[in-house]
Amino acid sequence: MEEKVLNYKKNGIAMLLLLLCLYAAAIACLILGIIRLDAGSKNPVLFIIGFIYLALGWIPFIGLKAIKPQEALVLTLFGEYVGTLKEAGFYFVNPFCSSFNPAAKTRLKQSGDVDGGGAIGGLTITTNGTPQAEASGNRISLKVMTLNNNRQKINDCLGTPVEIGIAVMWKVTNTAKAVFNVDNYKEYLSLQCDSALRNIVRLYPYDVAPNVDTTGDGIADEGSLRGSSEVVAERIRAEIQGKVEEAGLEIMEARITYLAYAPEIAAAMLQRQQASAIIDARKMIVDGAVGMVEMALARLSENEVVTLDEERKAAMVSNLLVVLCGNRDAQPIVNSGSLY
């Protein structure tokens, strides 16, 4: 569906004044006709003209349309698409043209909704972060909007359940496609965001894992949800854009707003991370202690402070490692005798 932008003149004020003048003239004709009929006149033309116009004169007022900045109005005439008004102003169009927006009554807590309503699919859509009611009926907002997707539980590529939430910046670029190509472009966007999020998250592990290919090139890499958030967000944006192209929507940006392990495994994964950190710390301590022992033995031998046989060296190494690697302060023991 190709969009047709109407370039009507902004003649709404002039037509409003003209219609008001015609209404005043109709009232005057009605009053004058009544007076003439009361005076015995048999010509009710003025009365009939005034009565008919007062009864039907409201119809042209329907053709008065006010468009705010960053709004659009899709017009149809007896079921046929006429065009779209996009430029802000006050217009007069065919009174029998009707504005059409199937998503006008969708309750997603976003700009364009009449009231808060119940969220669909756990989604909240706002303009500039603030829910905003719109009293413009079937008008389509062209502003950049933010879709805040609530946390979803998804299994990553290793089968680990994680909770993730995203924020998607989007706007309507083709009103004809948005209105006519899909049943409801807001609900359509919501469902496609859920689908794209699941498709991308299942390609990545939560943290860096060995032998995992996240790019599809057959080579293991270090991609992960936690460490490659920018790359993951861009892939989510591209995935959503490919799905909503036919709906006339542009996905400007996608961001991960929340990422954590699912509650049922969060404690176990925390213990795993703590154990890994303890092992790494111990390894560093042992490496440092061995280096210090080697340095001590080398300095003693170099300066010929004492001459140690292999047994005494082993005892010294044992004592130094206990002191350097222990979690508690060492308790010195004075040996007054001999090792033999």
Query: Is 205 contained in some domain?
Result: yes
Q: 174 with 201, same domain?
A: yes
Q: Which domain holds residue 294?
A: 268-325
The per-residue b/e assignment along 203-226, b for 16 or more CB within 10 angstroms, e otherwise, is bbbbbebeebebeeeeeeeebbbe
Task: Tell me which of 54-63, 247-256, 323-332 is least confident.
Answer: 323-332
> pLDDT band for position 77 (50/70/90)?
very high
Highest mean pLDDT among 7-11, 23-27, 147-151, 303-307: 23-27
pLDDT of residue 21: 93
pLDDT tens profile 267-321: 776 776 777 777 877 788 888 888 888 887 787 777 766 777 777 778 777 777 7
Q: 156 with 233, same domain?
A: yes
CA dist 301 and 116 (Å) reads 82
Query: Is 7 contained in some domain?
Result: no
Q: 252 with 273, same domain?
A: no
CA dist 251 and 241 (Å) reads 6
Q: 194 with 252, same domain?
A: yes
pLDDT of residue 176: 92
Q: 157 with 240, same domain?
A: yes
Query: Is 50 contained in some domain?
Result: yes
In a 10 Å sphere around its CB, with 0-12 CB exposed, 13-18 middle and 19+ buried, how is residue 124 labelled? middle
Handedness of CA 265, 266, 267, 269 (dihedral sign): positive
Q: 233 with 130, same domain?
A: yes
Establish how many alpha carbons lie within 13 A of residue 318's alpha carbon, considering only the half-sphere containing its beta carbon. Answer: 6
Write the CB contacts of 284 (distance below 8 Å, at least 6 apart in sequence): none
Q: 244 with 184, same domain?
A: yes
Query: Is 112 contained in some domain?
Result: no
Q: 245 with 163, same domain?
A: yes
Region 173-191: what's the mean pLDDT? 91
Q: Which CATH number does the domain housing residue 165 bear?
A: 3.30.479.30
Q: Which two tokens stand for residue 204?
A: 């990545």
The CB density around residue 153, as the number of other CB atoms within 10 Å, is 11
Last residue of a domain, which of 261, 276, 308?
261
Region 66-93: what's the mean pLDDT? 90
Q: Which two tokens stand for residue 112?
A: 């364009």
Query: Is 66 contained in some domain?
Result: yes
Region 205-227: what's the mean pLDDT? 83
Distances from the Cα of 17 to the Cαs of 11, 13, 26, 58, 146, in angstroms? Answer: 10, 6, 14, 13, 40
Mean pLDDT, all residues of the chain = 81
Q: 153 with 30, same domain?
A: no
For residue 306, what is the DSSP state? -
Q: Are 180 and 2 in contact (CB under 8 A)?
A: no
Last residue of a domain, which of 261, 296, 311?
261
The CB density around residue 103, as the number of other CB atoms within 10 Å, is 22
Q: 216 with 295, same domain?
A: no
Q: 129 with 247, same domain?
A: yes
Task: Tell me which amino acid residue 30 is.
Answer: L
Q: How many separate domains does the chain show?
A: 3
pLDDT tens profile 101-151: 888 887 664 444 434 433 434 444 444 444 443 445 688 989 998 888 778
Gyration radius of the chain's alpha carbons: 38
Q: Which two tokens stand for residue 150?
A: 């609530």
Q: Supply φ then ψ for residue 7, to 5 degrees.
A: -110, 55
Longest dimension (CA), the chain: 149
Q: 230 with 148, same domain?
A: yes
Last residue of a domain, which of 230, 261, 292?
261
Query: Is 3 contained in some domain?
Result: no
Does position 70 have pLDDT exceeding 70, yes or no? yes
pLDDT tens profile 195-212: 999 999 999 988 888 888
295 or 333, which is more confident? 295
Task: Tell me which amino acid residue 10 is.
Answer: K
